[in-house]
């Protein structure tokens, strides 16, 4: 629109030179206008007269006194004339950006999304239809012989429903959110669209020519370009806000500056719609940046923009009245030439209302279909609320200004434009604005529902109870004595109608299902509002981030739309943000670096934990508030029950994280606690300031110090860091147990990979091309060949070695392995495994033993399924024997053992049934404790008194009975250990903090009695024993001291079985004491930094009691806290993959 007023000087300057106006007189007009506005708002409070209507009348009165009388108003009149002759473009540039931004920023995001289609329909086709209806009426009915272009120009100008007038009116009347959003959003978009249409026809009137293609291109460029520029300004300013820390003044100033810069850049620089640009900017801030302002900053922002809006509204409506008066009574008054213009003004007002009704009526099917819908009552209010205001008036002034120097528009036409537009603005504000509240009352749209009325009455009774409690606390004063309750009661007039019988809002429902349903919907709304309020409090307390707050509040908004048809369902809106989306599976491709994949995965997990914890806390707070307010009514209990059901999935999610991945929860809790502590310090400093105990300089120093720490926390919070692949490989039970020479051969070809949930590692029947080592995560298995209905949990967790049996045997995979969570693992090619078999027979035996662990769970889940990987490795290391038989040999399975045929062929003695691998072997009369009767019919299970070897066979036997006896003994003796030691037993952690433990309790005890690694090595380098230790303690087990077997051919005697379990504790003699060891937890594996594990094992784990040396200055850490003495704000974890996440549907 900058081209409209090109080469046109301000009339104020021209008249100022002639009349000697002092420019400072304009300031006097501003002051008087604000005083009139204050008086109007003060005197009209409590009346039914809209504030904006009163301002317009006052403006017309001031203009009439200045232009309609011979006395004029002196300096006040000079100020009026300066403002009345202001350039129209300048008028819009001064007032519109602030008003448009405040209006769009105050709209609710969810309401905007739901009503966007309706707003676009009214602002797009609606404006065009209104423009052509009014243009046709002006051309065909009015006697001014205007061209079609001129008629359509006035029609487009009058189609702009003014957001300033509409918003001010709706705020005063308190219309419903849905209707207010539609009307306000339509007026904002309508205003921008109408200005675009006006600009198009104005250029046509002034000689420009446009084809249909050019028209479409112009409209698209101006409107879509404005939306894009608004988003760009919003994004840049939002990013800038992120670098501003606790400076409310700068934050608020930035919002004001960006609104004006965006308007000017669009309107004057890019020649696109400045109105649509600022509107888009404000909506962007409402959607994205609302949570960037917290606490006092948010309140300050709200008060600032409320003040800006009030001042701008006051000035612009009084100024509009002045311009209308000047147009009617000024020197160019149309009354001097066209007395019939008044009648045509009334006719134009009627046509305007008819066109509005036609637009809404023709678009009603679409308005009813989209968004929240629209009923006939709301459609009537929508028709009646089409007010015109300062925007239309400013556009008419631009036409009149151009008529003074343009050959295309004569002076009379410009004067008529201002007269008709000013008259329409006056009539719509006076007639429509003053009677809208009456229309709402006639349609019963301003009444409270029965449910809300009962809640209101109940609340008043509660307020009376609170007043009595307060009086009881304050009735007697040590200095002044008692107070008089009857007198106090006279001043509490708001509670006079609360003296009757107290009736609960949910009693006397009867059998009316409609009334009960109405009560349920009403309480759900109140409950969800409480949940949303709790989210705001958590945001201010630092419990959640801005991004998380936006997600949580959006879920509440979506649930509010469904309160009348569904139970509480705000968790449904959070599920997509807790589950891993489908596109995460593309991150596992080799094109993405592992660090990038890990970063996104951990970020997703942290966000999910934030959301789940905040959801549970907010619902818990809202349930308590609802119970305290309403009590134990059936409806309240029903809502509370709905809330508890909603939280089940979130509880399960956090419980899974607490069990499998507590480090992430610890990082989040650390952030929250640190933020809370710093906020408490800030409040304490503020209390010191109020008490006057400290001087200003001291307060500034303390405040700056705390703010520096808070800024450091927000800029550099505690992080979750993944260990390096080398550490994971060293901690793997298979690779870590191998001799260093053998391990180096394999590690060189090890490929680290991260798989998302639902990815198949290998399929049943496929060629065994390698093995998978699961560092973290869960995989599930399925097999068509191995069908076992008793497998309740067909999964393998971290520490599993998959596919090793098939690689050693050289046969296809016997089952499908599919990831059931995010899995971090390593893949080793089959050729590399087979190449190390001939180097050492002990290594070969160990690999076969390791393969039997997975095989036992596949074939005999009834017995081995509930055993952890550590228990299975303990069974293999301490309660198993593996033997190789040649053709013709016979062997038996002892009554207390179970065997697995790993390779070769055997036959049962007697029946001579051929048994192939893999197979489970049972003695002929097994103990019932093995539950073998349940699997007797399985094709892979066999019972015989003895077996005959057909070809070379390898069999491993497990002493299940002995292992169960050992575990039972351990459980009994572990309780005794806590009593014979000198240290008192520790209090077990509560469930809430159980996820913060470094180690499970029994693992900590067993760690204290573990033998020194060198002692284990003396037993012949038992690799299975070392694998057992690694499955529990990870990389804490030292790799030093491991050497090849003494025998050159690698065939040494098997190690002697210990008389006790190396994985469980022994009852110590009274002379022994155990010092607790503080370790840094890293899930299933642990990385000890700067600590010699061998020294700890030899000096701390089995240390005799000694008197403390007073000269020993070493600091003994008896805490289980994982922080240690490091100054590093990093909590290390193995992987974000140990938790099973369902994918989003």
Per-residue pLDDT reduced to its tens digit, 606-656: 888 889 999 999 999 999 888 888 777 788 888 889 999 989 889 888 877
Q: Which residues of the chain have pLDDT under 50?
A: 1-18, 509-511, 790, 927-937, 974-1021, 1035-1145
Residues 1060 and 475: their CA atoms lie apart, in Å, by 76
Alpha carbons 621 and 552: distance in angstroms, whole number: 15
Per the CB < 8 A criterion, the answer to whether 177 and 111 are in contact is: yes
Q: Which residues contact 254 (CB under 8 A, 6 or more apart)?
A: 237, 240, 241, 244
Residue 10: CB partners within 8 Å, gap ≥ 6?
85, 86, 87, 90
- Distance, in Å, from the CA atom of 401 to the CA atom of 860, rounded to the nearest integer, reads 94
Contacts of 214 (CB under 8 A, 6+ apart): none
Residue 956 is predicted with a pLDDT of: 92
Residue 553, classed as helix, strand or coil, is: helix
Spell out the long-range contacts of 1001-1005 with Cβ–Cβ below 8 A and sequence spacing 24 or more. Answer: 1002/970, 1002/974, 1002/1064, 1003/1032, 1005/974, 1005/977, 1005/1065
**Residue (of 919, 907, 884, 728) closest to 805 by Cα position:** 919
- Which tens digits make up the pLDDT trace of 128-156? 899 999 999 999 998 888 888 889 988 98
- Please give the DSSP secondary-structure letter assigned to residue 1117: -
Interior angle at CA 84, CA 82 and CA 90, nearest 5: 85
Place of tokens 């066209």: 338
For residues 222 and 209, give the distance between their C-alpha atoms in angstroms, rounded to a whole number: 17
pLDDT at 661: 66
d(CA 1118, CA 1107) in angstroms, rounded, equals: 17
pLDDT of residue 986: 40
Global pTM exceeds 0.85: no
Facing residues of 921 across strands?
A: 899, 942
Write down the H helix ranges in 443-484. Answer: 450-474
- Per-residue pLDDT at 584: 63
> What per-residue confidence (pLDDT) applies to 848?
92
* CB contact set of 286 (below 8 Å; sequence gap of 6+): 104, 105, 106, 107, 108, 109, 112
Residue of 1120, 1082, 1101, 1077 lying closest to 987 (CA atoms):
1120
Residue 859, CA distances (Å) to 595, 803, 852, 908, 923 in order:
38, 14, 10, 19, 16
Give the tokens for residue 934: 């349940």
User: What is the phi-psi region of residue 1131: left when phi exceeds 0, alpha when psi lies from -120 to 50, beta otherwise?
Assistant: beta
- CA 350 and chain centroid, separation: 50
C-alpha distance from residue 151 to each of 131, 135, 141, 356, 615 (Å)? 9, 5, 11, 17, 58
- Coil, strand, or helix at residue 9? coil
- Side-chain half-sphere exposure of 142, counting CA atoms within 13 A: 32
């Amino acid at each position: 629109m900058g081209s409209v007023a090109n080469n046109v000087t301000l009339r104020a300057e021209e008249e100022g030179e002639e009349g000697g106006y002092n420019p400072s007189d304009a300031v006097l007009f501003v002051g008087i206008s604000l005083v009139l506005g204050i008086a109007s708002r003060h005197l009209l409070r409590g009346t039914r007269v809209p504030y904006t209507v009163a301002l317009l009348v006052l403006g017309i009165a001031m203009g009439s006194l200045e232009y309609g009388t011979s006395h004029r108003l002196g300096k006040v009149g000079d100020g009026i004339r300066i403002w009345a002759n202001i350039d129209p473009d300048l008028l819009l540039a001064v007032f519109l950006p602030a008003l448009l931004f405040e209006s769009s920023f105050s709209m609710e995001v969810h309401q905007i999304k739901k009503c966007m289609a309706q707003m676009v329909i009214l602002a797009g086709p609606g404006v065009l239809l209104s423009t052509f209806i009014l243009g046709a009426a002006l051309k065909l009915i009015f006697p001014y012989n205007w061209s079609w272009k001129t008629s359509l120009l006035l029609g487009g100008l009058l189609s702009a429903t003014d957001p300033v007038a509409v918003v001010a009116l709706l705020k005063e009347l308190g219309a419903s959110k849905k209707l207010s959003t539609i009307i306000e959003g339509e007026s904002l978009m309508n205003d921008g669209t109408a200005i675009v249409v006006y600009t198009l026809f104005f250029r046509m009137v002034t000689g420009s020519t446009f084809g249909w293609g050019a028209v479409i291109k112009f409209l698209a460029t101006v409107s879509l370009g404005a939306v894009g520029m608004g988003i760009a300004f919003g994004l840049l300013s939002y990013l800038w806000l992120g670098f501003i820390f606790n400076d409310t003044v700068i934050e608020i100033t930035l919002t004001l500056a960006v609104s004006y810069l965006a308007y000017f850049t669009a309107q004057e620089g890019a020649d696109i719609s400045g109105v649509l640009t600022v509107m888009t900017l404000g909506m962007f801030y409402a959607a994205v940046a609302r949570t960037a302002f917290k606490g006092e900053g948010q309140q300050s922002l709200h008060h600032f923009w409320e003040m800006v809006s009030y001042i701008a509204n006051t000035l612009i409506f009084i100024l509009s009245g002045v311009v209308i008066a000047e147009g009617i009574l000024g020197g160019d008054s149309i009354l001097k030439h066209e007395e019939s213009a008044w009648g045509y003004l009334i006719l134009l007002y009627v046509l305007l209302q008819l066109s509005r009704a036609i637009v809404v009526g023709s678009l009603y099917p679409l308005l009813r279909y989209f968004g929240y819908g629209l009923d006939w009552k709301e459609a009537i209010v929508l028709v009646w609320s089409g007010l015109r205001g300062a925007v239309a008036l400013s556009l008419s002034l631009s036409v009149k200004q151009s008529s003074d120097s343009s050959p295309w528009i004569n002076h009379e036409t410009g004067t008529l434009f201002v007269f008709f537009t000013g008259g329409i603005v006056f009539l719509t504000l006076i007639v429509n604005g003053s009677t809208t509240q009456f229309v709402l009352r006639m349609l019963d749209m301003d009444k409270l529902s029965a449910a809300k009325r009962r809640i209101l009455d109940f609340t008043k009774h509660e307020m009376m109870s609170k007043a009595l409690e307060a009086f009881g606390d304050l009735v007697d004063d040590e200095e002044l004595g008692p107070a008089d309750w009857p007198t106090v009661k006279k001043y509490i007039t708001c509670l006079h109608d609360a003296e009757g019988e107290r009736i609960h809002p949910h009693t006397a429902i009867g059998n009316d299902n409609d009334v009960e349903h109405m009560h349920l919907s009403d309480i759900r709304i109140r409950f969800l509002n409480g949940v949303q309020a709790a989210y705001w409090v958590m945001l201010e307390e630092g419990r959640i981030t801005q991004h998380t707050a936006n997600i949580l509040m959006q879920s509440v908004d979506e649930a509010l739309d469904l309160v009348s048809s569904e139970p509480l369902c705000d968790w449904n809106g959070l599920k997509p943000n807790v589950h891993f989306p489908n596109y995460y599976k593309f991150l596992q491709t080799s094109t993405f670096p592992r660090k990038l994949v890990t970063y996104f995965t951990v970020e997703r997990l942290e966000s999910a934990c934030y959301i789940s914890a905040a959801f549970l806390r907010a619902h818990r707070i809202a349930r308590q508030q609802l119970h305290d307010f309403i009590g134990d009514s059936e409806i309240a209990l029903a809502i509370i029950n709905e809330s508890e059901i909603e939280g089940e999935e979130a509880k399960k999610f956090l419980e899974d994280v607490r069990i499998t991945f507590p480090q992430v929860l610890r990082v989040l809790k650390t952030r929250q606690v640190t933020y809370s502590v710093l906020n408490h310090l800030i409040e304490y400093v503020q209390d010191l300031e109020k008490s006057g105990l400290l001087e200003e300089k001291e307060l500034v120093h303390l405040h700056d110090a705390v703010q520096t720490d808070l800024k450091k926390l927000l800029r550099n919070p505690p992080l979750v860091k993944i260990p390096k692949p080398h550490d994971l490989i060293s901690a793997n039970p298979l690779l870590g147990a191998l001799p260093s020479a053998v391990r180096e051969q394999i590690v060189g070809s090890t490929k680290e990979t991260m798989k998302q949930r639902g990815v198949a590692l290998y399929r049943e029947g496929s060629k065994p091309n390698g093995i998978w080592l699961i560092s973290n995560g869960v995989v599930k298995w399925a097999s068509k060949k191995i069908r076992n209905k008793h497998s309740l949990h067909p999964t393998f967790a971290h520490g599993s070695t998959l596919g090793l049996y098939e690689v050693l045997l050289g046969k296809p995979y016997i089952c499908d392995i599919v990831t059931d969570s995010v899995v971090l693992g390593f893949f080793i090619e089959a050729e590399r495994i087979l190449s190390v078999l001939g180097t050492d027979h002990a290594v070969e035996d160990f690999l076969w033993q390791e393969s039997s662990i997975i095989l036992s769970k596949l074939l005999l889940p009834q017995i081995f399924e509930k055993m952890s990987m550590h228990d299975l490795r303990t069974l293999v290391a301490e309660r198993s024997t593996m033997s190789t038989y040649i053709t013709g040999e016979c062997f038996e399975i002892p009554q207390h053992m179970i065997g697995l045929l790993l390779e070769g062929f055997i036959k049962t003695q007697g029946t001579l049934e051929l048994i192939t691998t893999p197979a489970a072997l049972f003695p002929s009369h097994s103990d019932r404790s093995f539950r073998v009767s349940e699997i007797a019919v399985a094709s892979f299970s066999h019972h015989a008194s003895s077996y005959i070897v057909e070809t070379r066979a390898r069999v491993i036997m497990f002493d299940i009975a002995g292992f169960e006896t050992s575990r039972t003994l351990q459980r009994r003796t572990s309780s005794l250990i806590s009593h014979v030691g000198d240290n008192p037993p520790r209090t077990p952690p509560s469930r809430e903090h159980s996820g913060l433990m470094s180690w499970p309790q029994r693992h900590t005890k067993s760690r204290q009695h573990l033998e020194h690694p060198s002692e284990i090595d003396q037993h012949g380098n038992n690799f299975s024993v070392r694998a057992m230790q690694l499955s529990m303690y990870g990389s804490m087990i030292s790799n030093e001291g491991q050497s090849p077997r003494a025998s050159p051919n690698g065939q040494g005697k098997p190690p002697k079985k210990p008389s006790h379990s190396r994985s469980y504790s022994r009852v110590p003699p009274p002379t022994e004491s155990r010092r607790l060891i503080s370790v840094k937890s890293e899930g299933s594996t642990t990385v000890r930094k700067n600590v010699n594990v061998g020294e700890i094992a030899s000096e701390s784990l089995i240390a005799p009691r000694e008197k403390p040396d007073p000269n020993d200055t070493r600091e003994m850490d008896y805490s289980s806290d994982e922080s240690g003495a490091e100054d590093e704000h990093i909590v290390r974890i193995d992987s974000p993959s140990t938790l099973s996440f369902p994918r989003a549907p």
